[in-house]
Amino acid sequence: MSKLLSIKNLRVRFRTNSPFQAMINKIEDPYIDAVRQVSLEIKQGETFTLVGESGSGKSTLALATAGLLNAEEGQIKFMNEDVTTMTSSQIMAYRKKISYIWQDSIGSLSPRMSVGSLITEAYKIHNLKDRDLKMEADRLLKLVGLPSQIRERYPHQLSGGQARRVGVARAISLDPKMIIADEPTAGLDVSVQGEILNLLNKLRDDLGVSLFVITHNLNIVRHISDKTAVMYLGRFVEQGQTDDIFAKPRHPYTLALLSANLAPYSEANLKNRIELQGEVPSLMDRPNGCEFHTRCPFSSKHCDNEFPPIHTFNNSQILTCHYPLN
């Protein structure tokens, strides 16, 4: 499979104080890093999942990847084109190749537009005037397993599962190379979650599209994912092949997430399950040294003061930790 997306040393920052507030409060750096030194690769037809607690920077990374947020540093290359240096017109063309499924499936749909108008809206935005919008709407609805009658309904008339499928239909309307799905199963019943995951897998297989899936639910990851990255305070603490990470997590944070989510799976190497303590620290007050040391049961003074080195296992499993798990 050819490389589709490559991100290197990405940094995304947000201002927390106005220049006047920063001056009055004598704040030297009025910014926070929501994403810091992140690198990844996704191949054509591959599913990449990004996991971590709320506030870890997952959605910020996804929005930057989609060209919806500017990066302070680093590089995003999509099909060998540098997204970070694109002009406005080039970004518009780029957004035909990469699409987004929003976490709030109902809230992301305009209440004033019918389903048919919503899923064909991209044709108007990109001036694709040669399309029969009614036929295209029916085609897209069929692809996501919805009857053509849904075309005339409005968002408030949809169930949660139907709204999520409409979001998927919008995402595939321009035949993208990649779909970013932000918490695609959030708020859905277990049975409906399975239907959405099966739909995404089917679209990947039938259309050859790559998937970039954001989730905090590790129970769904092993069912859809080829590669997984674990994010904490804007950094990747571990990434690699999904099977390897589930079979032998090397970072304590990964082990803690698996311990909390995967009790039924005895085959995962979780003999020494650990319970995640405390809350994610504020980005405005990052811990020194290893940023996970304030919650890690294995931390030492060494972890408190020095940033951890990078370790590689089996040429694919990469993590930053002073004391990788065996």
Please give the single-letter amino acid code of residue 237.
V
Q: 15 falls in which pLDDT band (50, 70, 90)? A: confident
- Whether 5 has a pLDDT exceeding 80, the answer reads yes
pLDDT of residue 263: 52
Identify the H or E element spanning 38: strand 31-43
Which SS3 state, helix, strand or coil, does residue 215 take?
Answer: strand
Q: Is the pLDDT of residue 80 over 70?
A: yes
> Residue 322: its pLDDT value, please?
95
Give 125-159 pLDDT, tens digit per residue.
888 877 889 999 999 999 999 999 999 999 999 99
pLDDT at 229 over 80: yes
Query: Quick one: pLDDT at residue 264?
Result: 47
Q: Give the C-alpha separation, 203 to 146, whole Å.
A: 14
> Is residue 20 very low, low, confident or very high in pLDDT (cuts 50, 70, 90)?
low
- The whole-chain average pLDDT of the chain stands at 90
Query: What's the helix, strand, coil split of the chain in %, to 5?
Result: 35, 25, 40
pLDDT of residue 28 exceeding 90, the answer is no
CATH, range 3-97+176-320: 3.40.50.300
Among all chains, which residue has been given the structure tokens 């109902």?
106
Higher pLDDT, 122 or 261: 122
pLDDT at 266: 45
What's the longest Cα–Cα distance across the chain?
Answer: 66
pLDDT for 26 beyond 80: no
Residue 262 pLDDT = 60
Give tens-digit pLDDT for 203-226: 999 999 999 999 988 888 988 999
Among residues 84, 11, 7, the alpha carbon closest in space to that of 48 is found at 7
DSSP string, 47-77: EEEEE--TTSSHHHHHHHHTTSS--SEEEEE
Lowest mean pLDDT across 13-27, 85-99, 200-214: 13-27
Is residue 273 very low, low, confident or very high in pLDDT (cuts 50, 70, 90)? confident
More confident position, 257 or 261: 257
Q: Quick one: pLDDT at residue 270?
A: 54
Residue 106: strand, helix, or coil = coil
The pLDDT confidence band at residue 253, using thresholds 50, 70 and 90, is very high
Domain ranges of the chain: 3-97+176-320
pLDDT at residue 27 in the model? 65
Residue 30 has pLDDT above 70, yes or no: yes
